[in-house]
Amino acid sequence: MKKLLLFDLDGTILYTVPDIMACCNDVLSEFSLPPISEEETKAFVGNGAKKLVERMLKDKYDLLEEVYARYSSLFPSYRNRTTYYPGELAFFRQMNALGYSFAVVTNKPQETANAVMNRFFPGWKVFGQTDSFPVKPDPSLTLFAIERMGFSKEDCVFIGDGETDVETAKRAGIPCISVLWGYRSRKTLEEAGATCFASSFEELKTIICNLED
């Protein structure tokens, strides 16, 4: 069996769009720029906070550094609208009882990722965006996480909702399970090369438990 489950954060284990959108729109309002929608927010996330800000600015790239700094300073306090997905707490209790270990590998900045995870999943190992590693889909942080957690690649599976996660797992040389409750469609994931899908945490459990070493 696979022993270490590596999870993306946004759209995979937490529905964070409401908080991300609220922070984005508050910042945009400060700069007298138009708000973004929920669907735009979903489309803009996945490649790190700076890329998110770049996308929400659209053609106002001259403001990138200033807006990014403001977004980064505000976002850690935006956590009241984030929620779990249906069935996931039971899933993690069951997988923990079966002897699996968990970690998060995310493009969310490390400090922000820590703040979110400490509230919803205290005690988890969190590997976020820092100056030490490139963001996903570069596999460096994922491989570092595996090593730091004391496992080998053969022990691991990557679970995420985005095309970035599919490519990250491929480059890291580990299997990937793409979840369908997140921020990308099945079509988008298939076009990125995804071949294994879970539409619920119950289905995810079944797939993981049937993976061969």
Q: Give every CB contact of residue 164 below 8 A, 6+ residues apart in sequence.
A: 8, 46, 47, 107, 136, 137
Entry pTM: 0.93
pLDDT digits (tens, 9 = 90+) for 101-115: 999 999 999 999 999
Dist CA 165 CA 138 (whole Å): 10
pLDDT band at 2 (very low <50, low <70, confident <90, very high): confident
**Banded model confidence at residue 76, pLDDT cuts 50, 70, 90:** confident
Block residue for tokens 């935006």: 78
Question: Going from the N-terminus, what domains does the chain have, and what CATH number goes with each?
Answer: 4-15+83-209 (3.40.50.1000), 17-77 (1.10.150.240)
Burial track 14-46 (b if 16+ CB lie within 10 A, e otherwise): bbbbebbbbbbbebbeeeebeebeeeebbebbb
Count of C-beta atoms within a 10 Å radius of residue 142 = 26
The predicted structure's pLDDT at residue 25: 98
